[in-house]
Structure formats: structure tokens, C-alpha cells
Amino acid sequence: MGNLQRLKLVPSQGRGSERLLAGLPVTGRLTRRPGGAARLRALLESGQTIVAPGAFDPLAARLVEEAGFPAVYMTGFGTSAALIGRPDVGLLTMTEMAASAGRIADCVDIPVIADADTGYGNPLNVIRTVGAYEAAGVAGIHIEDQVAPKKCGHMEGKLVIGAQEMAAKVRAAVEARAQPEFVIIARTDARAVEGLEQALERARMYRAAGADALFIEALVSEAEVQEAARAFPGVPLLFNWAEGGKTPPVSLARLTELGYRIVIFPISTLLAATAAMRAVLGEIARSGTPAAALAGLPTFGEFVDFIGLPEVREAEQRYAT
């Protein structure tokens, strides 16, 4: 976890079932904490590397927060898998993705960075997309220069739109935001289509169009990771630590040294959840019950405490008539 501060659940003093999370009360709130965009912007300006594991649903996001990370990434790959059980090939609509992002933002106090695919159309569609994600409580989004319907950045067969067309979409996104702190990340998938030099040139254009941060997707060697960082000194860069993807694994220490400011781990939670569910389902299929697997699982009581039942009960008592 490096220098990340782990959030700790500790008993409260004289407050019944209320818990403390890193010294702050956990309220079981049903509405989001405001100001996520400003908090993400402050993190970007702090100079630290923001580590944002992926979440495919609100429960995964709460686990990311509990682990002490400063931000959470709403993965489009994981959202497609969780929401419709299908691959990330552009099947979800903007409203479905924004709604998923909103459910995640509602349940955590850390900023949410969300996948907004291609912006779902031309610059007019991008304007609406930015408004929808802002209304959902997201702190920042990335939009990409793929031809729609897009594909996961580490799949074969991608196509990209013209660089000028994408630069116009970035300008539209920047000008559409209601909150000046809302972070616009421009992603290029051109490395797989046009080569590294063209991808870097596109990234320069997108930065000139107003992008707050750049995301050069699917670099294929550590040398390319280094070259991309050296091409943009002082510019916030996002690194996609794509589990099993085209980009080789690079240590967090090395990425920090190179100057990457956001590092996402998009599908670690998704893959881990899949493995765990397969294991317990296999045990039920073999034995008829999950009894032999229960020792390695949270208890029912631990789980309902984690998702906020004590705070809900406290609120029920406070407002009882």
C-alpha cells in the first residue's frame, strides 16, 4: 500500500453504534458528500500519485474506500461485466454508465474517476455526457478517441477517429463542465492503430484543447511508458495498470518516479470477485452446501456492519416517532 493511510474501524466513545473511519464518523448517509471534483483537483495539485483501484459496483467501491485509497475508478470494463454480463465493446449507453457512476459516488466519500467511453457521440453528445456525469456526483471522467462502438483498450481491432475531431470533443467537454474543478482526462487509443509517435502527437493536441490530464492507452513496453512520461513533463498523466493487458506491469514506485499522477487498477476487484464466487459455487456444487467455505468468508454480522446497518438503526432510533 506504500504511503497510503489505511482507514480503520474503531469503537466510538459514547455514541452507541456509531463507528469512526480514520477519525471521521461513518454516517450511513443516503446522499453523497459534496465537493468530489474539488477534492480530486486538490489531490492532483498535491503532487502525490493517486492510486485508484477499479470498482464495478457500489460494494466494490466501499471496499476500495475501506482499504484507504484516496480515489476510486469506475471501470467501464467491469461495469459492462457486472451490469449486463457482457464484454466491454460499447454495449452500454451513456445513461446506463452515468447511473452506475452515480450509485458509486453516492456510497463513498472519496472522489470517483469514471470511464465515459467516447463521450457517446459528437461534441453535442459530449456536452450532455459531462452534464450527466457531473450530476451523478463524479469528480472526473476520461473520454477516448476510438470510433464508436468502442472496445476495451487492450482488445484487438480498435479504430480511432480523426485527431481534430477528438480535440473538438475535448474542448466541448472542458467548456461544458459546470464545476471548474471537474477533471477532464483525454485518452488516446492511437498507439495500437497509428503507433507511439502519433499517439503522443494526439495527446499534445488534446492537452492544447484543454484536457486536465492525459491517458495514453495500451503502451506495450516499459520503454514506451518512460517515453510517454518524458514527452509530457509536468503534465498529469494517467497510467492504466491493466491486469493481463498489453501494457507490462510496472511498479508503483517506478511510475511515481516517472511522474505519473494517476494509476488505476481497473479489474483487480472484478477478477478477485469472480474467483471467489467460482470457489464458493464450486463448493456448493460438490458438497450441497457452502459450509466448508464459510470459515474464509465474512460473517453475516460483519458484512451488515460493513454496509452500514448499525448507522441505519441509529438513524431509525433518532427519528422514531
Known active-site residue 260 = no
Neighbours of 169 (CB within 10 A): 27
d(CA 106, CA 263): 23
Cα dihedral value 224, 264, 36, 76, nearest 10: 100
Active-site residue, selected from the candidate residues 152, 154, 177, 261:
152
Neighbours of 66 (CB within 10 A): 16
Known active-site residue 107 = no
Known active-site residue 142 = yes
Active-site residue, selected from the candidate residues 142, 177, 191, 202:
142
Angle among Cα 232, 233, 236 to the nearest 5 degrees reads: 70
Active-site residue, selected from the candidate residues 115, 134, 212, 311:
115
d(CA 110, CA 139): 9
Known active-site residue 125 = no
Instruction: Please list the alpha-helical segments (H only) found in 47-122.
Output: 58-66, 76-84, 94-107
Handedness of CA 276, 278, 279, 281 (dihedral sign): positive
Known active-site residue 117 = yes
Active-site residue, selected from the candidate residues 144, 189, 224, 311:
144
Active-site residue, selected from the candidate residues 73, 120, 133, 260:
73
| Residue 198 burial (10 A CB sphere; 0-12, 13-18, 19+) | middle
Known active-site residue 187 = yes
Active-site residue, selected from the candidate residues 187, 202, 207, 261:
187
Q: List, by residue number, the catalytic residues.
A: 73, 88, 115, 117, 142, 144, 152, 187, 217, 240
